[in-house]
Structure 1
Amino acid sequence: MMAQINAFAALPWKRFAAIGAVAATLSGCASFTPDGGMSPVASQVSAAIGKDAVKITSPAEAAAVQSRVKALLAKPLTADGAVQLALINNRGLQAEYNALGISEAAYIEASLPPNPVIGVERLATGGSLEIERRLVADILALFTLPKRSDIAKTQFEAARQKAIEATFRTAAETRRAYYNAVAARQTVSFLEQARVSADAAADITRKLGETGATKKLDQARAGAFYAEVSNELAQARLKAGTEREALTRMLGLWGADLDYKLPAQLPGLPRIQTESQVEAEAVRKRVDLIAARLELDAMAKSLGLTQATRFVSMLDGGWRGNTERETVDGEREKSSPKGFELEVQIPIFDLGETKTRQARETYMQAVNRLLEKAVNVRSQARSAYLTYRGTYDIARQYQNSILPLRRTVNEQAMLEYNGMLIDEFELLTTARESIASNVAAINAKRDFFIADVDFETAIIGGGGSAGEAGEGAVVAAGGESGGH
Structure 2
Amino acid sequence: MMPIVSFASSVLPAVQNGKFVKLGGVSLLALTLAGCTTFSKDAGMEPVGAQVSSAIGAQTLKIASKADAKAAASRVKLLLTQPLNADSAVQVALLSNRNLQAEYNALGVSEAAFVEASLPPNPSISLGGTLQQGSLDIERRLVGSLLALLTLPARKAIAEKEFEAARYRAVEATFRQAASARKAYYRAVAARHRVTYLEQARASTDAAADLTRKLGETGAATKLDQARAGAFNAETSSQLAAARLEAGVTREALTRELGLWGADAGYKIPNRLPSLPKKLQTSDQAETEAIRKRVDLIVARLELDALARSLKLDNATRYVSAFQLAGFANFERSKNDHGEVEKDYPKGGTLDLELEIPIFDFGETTRRRNVETYMQAVNRFAAKAVAIRSEARSALLAYRASNDIARQYRASIIPLRKVISEEAQLQYNGMLIDVFELLTTTREGIETNVAAIEAQRDVFVAGVDFQSAIIGGGAGGGDE
Same fold (TM over 0.5): yes
> Do the aligned partners of 2:18 and 2:331 also contact (CA within 8 Å) in 1?
no
Of stretches 437-446 and 27-36 in structure 1, the one that deviates more from structure 2 is: 27-36
> Do the aligned partners of 2:39 and 2:111 also contact (CA within 8 Å) in 1?
yes
1:463 Cα shift? 1.9
Cα deviations by residue, 1:247-275 (Å, 9 ceiling, x for unpaired): 00001111111111000100001122241
Cα deviations by residue, 1:175-213 (Å, 9 ceiling, x for unpaired): 100000000000001001101101111111111112211
1:319 aligned to 2:330?
no
Task: Name the structure 1 match of 2:8.
Answer: none
> Which amino acid in the other structure matches residue 45 of structure 2?
M
Q: Distance in 1 between matches of 2:190 and 2:38?
A: 49
Q: Distance in 1 between matches of 2:59 and 2:156?
A: 31
Distance change in 2, residues 1:411/1:288 (3 Å) = same
1:30 aligned to 2:37?
yes
Task: Name the structure 1 match of 2:215.
Answer: 208
1:118 Cα shift? 2.2
Identity %: 61
Pick aligned residue for 1:374 from 377, 385, 406: 385
1:295 aligned to 2:303?
yes
> Do the aligned partners of 2:282 and 2:396 also contact (CA within 8 Å) in 1?
no
Counterparts of residues 355-366 of structure 1 (less than 5 Å): 355-366=366-377
> Do the aligned partners of 1:327 and 1:333 also contact (CA within 8 Å) in 2?
no
Counterparts of residues 440-455 of structure 1 (less than 5 Å): 440-455=451-466
1:372 Cα shift? 0.8
Distance change in 2, residues 1:71/1:413 (3 Å) = same
SS of residue paired to 2:23: helix
SS of residue paired to 2:284: coil
SS of residue paired to 1:253: coil
1:400 aligned to 2:408?
no
Q: Distance in 1 between matches of 2:293 and 2:343?
A: 77
SS of residue paired to 1:132: strand
1:80 Cα shift? 0.3
Cα deviations by residue, 1:196-238 (Å, 9 ceiling, x for unpaired): 1011111111111122111222111111111111111111111
Q: Distance in 1 between matches of 2:346 and 2:376?
A: 60
SS of residue paired to 1:14: coil
1:416 Cα shift? 1.6
Task: Name the structure 2 match of 1:304.
Answer: 312
Task: Name the structure 2 match of 1:475.
Answer: none
How many residues in Structure 1 have an aligned counterpart in Structure 2?
462
Distance change in 2, residues 1:327/1:248 (3 Å) = closer
1:315 Cα shift? 1.4
Pick aligned residue for 2:473 from 452, 455, 462: 462
> Do the aligned partners of 2:162 and 2:306 also contact (CA within 8 Å) in 1?
yes
Q: Distance in 2 between matches of 1:372 and 1:333?
A: 68
Considering only aligned residues, what root-mean-square deviation do their CA atoms show, in Å? 2.2
> Do the aligned partners of 1:369 and 1:470 also contact (CA within 8 Å) in 2?
no
Task: Name the structure 2 match of 1:51.
Answer: 58
Q: Distance in 1 between matches of 2:283 and 2:251?
A: 33
1:349 Cα shift? 4.0
> Do the aligned partners of 2:295 and 2:471 also contact (CA within 8 Å) in 1?
yes
> Which amino acid in the other structure matches residue 405 of structure 1?
L
1:395 Cα shift? 0.7
1:261 aligned to 2:247?
no
1:279 aligned to 2:290?
no
Distance change in 2, residues 1:9/1:377 (3 Å) = farther
Pick aligned residue for 2:91 from 84, 93, 102: 84
Pick aligned residue for 2:105 from 76, 98, 107: 98
SS of residue paired to 1:337: strand
1:359 Cα shift? 2.6
Structure 2: tracts of 5 or more residues without a match: 1-14, 337-341
Cα deviations by residue, 1:272-291 (Å, 9 ceiling, x for unpaired): 22412101100000000000
Q: TM-score, normalised by structure 2?
A: 0.92
Distance change in 2, residues 1:154/1:9 (3 Å) = farther
SS of residue paired to 2:386: helix
> Do the aligned partners of 2:410 and 2:452 also contact (CA within 8 Å) in 1?
yes
> Which amino acid in the other structure matches residue 104 of structure 1?
E
Pick aligned residue for 1:439 from 429, 439, 450: 450
Q: Distance in 1 between matches of 2:344 and 2:299?
A: 66
> Which amino acid in the other structure matches residue 285 of structure 1?
K
> Do the aligned partners of 1:100 and 1:159 also contact (CA within 8 Å) in 2?
yes
> Do the aligned partners of 1:8 and 1:133 also contact (CA within 8 Å) in 2?
no
1:11 aligned to 2:22?
no
Of stretches 121-130 and 432-441 in structure 1, the one that deviates more from structure 2 is: 121-130
Pick aligned residue for 1:190 from 193, 197, 209: 197
1:422 aligned to 2:430?
no
Of stretches 45-54 and 343-352 in structure 1, the one that deviates more from structure 2 is: 343-352
> Do the aligned partners of 2:331 and 2:344 also contact (CA within 8 Å) in 1?
no
1:325 Cα shift? 6.4
SS of residue paired to 2:320: coil
> Which amino acid in the other structure matches residue 288 of structure 1?
D
Task: Name the structure 2 match of 1:219.
Answer: 226
Distance change in 2, residues 1:184/1:340 (3 Å) = same
Q: Distance in 2 between matches of 1:163 and 1:250?
A: 17
Q: Distance in 2 between matches of 1:121 and 1:111?
A: 32
> Which amino acid in the other structure matches residue 294 of structure 1?
L
Task: Name the structure 2 match of 1:141.
Answer: 148
Task: Name the structure 1 match of 2:237.
Answer: 230
Pick aligned residue for 2:353 from 336, 342, 346: 342
1:350 Cα shift? 4.1
Task: Name the structure 2 match of 1:482.
Answer: none
Q: TM-score, normalised by structure 1?
A: 0.91
> Do the aligned partners of 2:36 and 2:115 also contact (CA within 8 Å) in 1?
no
Q: Distance in 1 between matches of 2:449 and 2:265?
A: 29
SS of residue paired to 1:48: helix
Cα deviations by residue, 1:127-162 (Å, 9 ceiling, x for unpaired): 665333322111111111111111111111111100
